[in-house]
A = this chain, B = another copy of it.
Amino acid sequence: MNFDHSPIAKDLIARMQKFMQEEVLPAEATYYQQLKGGSDWAQWQQPAIMEELKAKAKAAGLWNLFLPEDGARLANVDYAPLAEITGRSMMSPEVFNCNAPDTGNMEVLVKYGSEEQKQRWLKPLMNGEIRSAFCMTEPDVASSDATNMQATAIVEGDEVVINGRKWWSSGIGHPNCKVLIFMGLSDATADKHRQHSMVLVPLDTPGVKIERMLPVFHTLDEPFGHGEVSFTNVRLPLSAIIGGDDGISGIGRGFEIAQGRLGPGRIHHCMRAIGAAEYALELMCQRSLSRVAFGKPLAKLGGNADIIANARMAIEQARLLTLKAAWMMDTVGVKGAMSEISQIKVIAPNIATQIIDAAMQMHGGAGLSDDFPLAALYAYARVLRLADGPDEVHRGLIAKIELKNQAARANAALATH
């Protein structure tokens, strides 16, 4: 057992921390000044400084680390600490072309895309020239049960026809967003996990309409946005279907593709949440050392030291389990790491929200305002308790696997006696 990072990870961690410190964090203020947000999302603009930062990151070899073009993919356990570093700045994943849902979409295209799809969409995504969205969750059903999905992707002749309504399509408001992956019902009579398909939909296809952007704790998350999108008789050639070079053979592969898509993405999200928690702890400590009440720094008052200790313990544990889940994905695959992935998906966003909330409290009213990044970090972590499966679904899955393992163990014990 060795808790040291590999040399390649160590090297990248050092370079990435340096880049964050020297390039990204100092650019944050400019980024938010240049950002044109507001309720009219058609007016949103990409801050110029983001494109400059992207160019620098590319030049520094800190580009597409989640999935290098040349195939020399970092192990998940090596990439994970890099994702953590980006967790302290909500704008930073885009700098490194490592932000959701693009990363997941690129992984899907690498693994399941046809040559044509790769040329048309994967290449510009890898270059950071365009951005993408992923349309799965629906407003009218409990999406925690993915089989509830009602929007349709029906093959009619040499076309696939899309209808329905999706929401929480993150990133769809970005000025550079050009394509979305739509998941819908193709055949309600097929086996439960063979009914759905994924389709690549250019944003400008007739029938695609962004109805509105959804706020999260009152913020629209500009320039990314979380869109509600209607699809009305959207017609695309069969080649838009993901999962078969001929298009048609991708029909019914939606769940299979979704399953593979989610593993690494959850590691990334969880590590970013841990990075956010670590940042919140740092701010909390600094505040508790610098503010004085009743004659002492806050750090010495009442239970504040306990709050700090509890935060440290929670972070250490969550990080180790996330790294172990990543390592298991690398060594035994997503299927073998299923319980661990669900575990971190519950733990990381929960400890992050708790720690960020505690940091807010230590900051007084300032902690809830925009003078500190805590409200923004909180929104990110809170959303994660729902996105990619709510806590409840993951806990259910963990218990199911546990009970299955324990039953097998009991049976094995019986068999040997």
Contact = CB atoms under 8 A, between A and B. Distances in A.
A321 B302 CA distance: 24
B386 A368 contact: yes
Nearest to A317: B317
Contact of A396 (B309, B371, B383): B309
Given A6-B1, A292-B142, A386-B365, A218 B306 contact: no
A399 B306 contact: yes
B306 A395 contact: yes
Contacts of A366: 139
A302 B306 contact: yes
Nearest to A311: B402
Nearest to A219: B218
A5 interface: yes
Given A145-B294, A317-B321, A396-B309, A409 B217 contact: no
A382 B368 contact: yes
Contact of A214 (B288, B327, B365): B365
The count of identical subunits is 4
Given A368-B217, A390-B361, A392-B301, A323 B292 contact: no
Interface string A1-39: 111111001000000000000000000000000000000
Given A294-B145, A320-B320, A365-B167, A402 B218 contact: no
Contacts of A5: 1
A137 to B, nearest CB: 7
Contacts of A286: 406, 410
Contacts of A4: 1
A304 to B, nearest CB: 7
B316 A364 contact: no
User: For the complex, would chain A's binding face be called helix, strand, loop or mixed by DSSP majority?
Assistant: helix
B406 A285 contact: yes
The 4 closest A-B pairs by CB, nearest first: A303-B303, A145-B293, A317-B317, A305-B399
Given A309-B343, A313-B398, 8 more contacts: A1-B4, A141-B292, A282-B409, A308-B398, A309-B394, A313-B343, A313-B346, A316-B321
Interface of A: 1-6, 9, 77-78, 137, 139, 141-145, 148, 167-168, 214-219, 226, 281-282, 285-286, 288-289, 291-294, 298-299, 301-306, 308-310, 312-313, 316-318, 320-321, 323-324, 327-328, 339-340, 343, 346-347, 360-361, 364-371, 375-376, 378-379, 382-383, 385-387, 390-392, 394-396, 398-400, 402-403, 406-407, 409-410
19 contacts: A1-B9, A137-B364, A139-B366, A143-B364, A148-B292, A167-B365, A215-B375, A217-B217, A217-B379, A289-B403, A289-B407, A301-B392, A302-B392, A309-B398, A309-B399, A310-B395, A313-B343, A361-B386, A364-B386
A286 B403 CA distance: 8
Nearest to A347: B313
Contacts of A215: 218, 369-370, 375
Contacts of A310: 395
B293 A142 contact: yes
